[in-house]
Amino acid sequence: MTTYVDTSALIKRYVEEDGSAVAEAWLRADPVLVTSWVTMVEVRRNLARLLGGAELATARQQCVADLDHFAMVAVDDALSHAAAEIGEVLGVRSLDALHLATAQRIQVPGLTFLTFDLRQAQAARSLGFTVVGV
């Protein structure tokens, strides 16, 4: 099994909020986790917004360590064009379009898409992904 993890799911590992236990269970259940390099940027920005001091430093360090175990997909020209198309057709936010294009690019049959963002979940379902979290 392979799970694509978006930012809304990964951030729950470092910040206790609704759905954190569910996110953690999914993250532990699948040995093959995939995300975009965009996720690192989004998670670090959100951590800096939500945490401070030693708590921020610990969360940042854990995030870097966690992402070392993910398959990380780079954003390139082709992925950017695919995301632009998804954004135009589905009307999703730019970063959501990048996540969706990344999940499509890896072409894994039966890919599970882990998100806690309702709009992202709806768009992922419309693209045929099995969505968990929301």
Minimal CA–CA distance to 120: which of 66, 45, 62, 42? 42
**Cα separations in angstroms, 64 against 45, 60, 70, 103:** 13, 6, 10, 21
User: Domain 3-133: what homologous superfamily?
Assistant: 5'-nuclease (3.40.50.1010)
Minimal CA–CA distance to 97: which of 86, 81, 107, 111? 86
pTM attached to this predicted model: 0.95
Round to whole Å and give the CA distance between 46 and 70: 19
pLDDT of residue 12: 98
Tokens linked to 40: 């690192």
Task: Say how far residue 20 (Cα) sits from the centre of its chain.
Answer: 14
pLDDT of residue 1: 85
Q: Is the pLDDT of residue 15 over 90?
A: yes
Reported as a single tens digit per residue, the pLDDT across 64-114 is 999 999 999 999 999 999 999 999 999 999 999 999 999 999 999 999 999
Reported as a single tens digit per residue, the pLDDT across 16-53 is 999 999 999 999 999 999 999 999 999 999 999 999 99
Tokens linked to 86: 């998804």
Minimal CA–CA distance to 102: which of 79, 130, 127, 125? 79
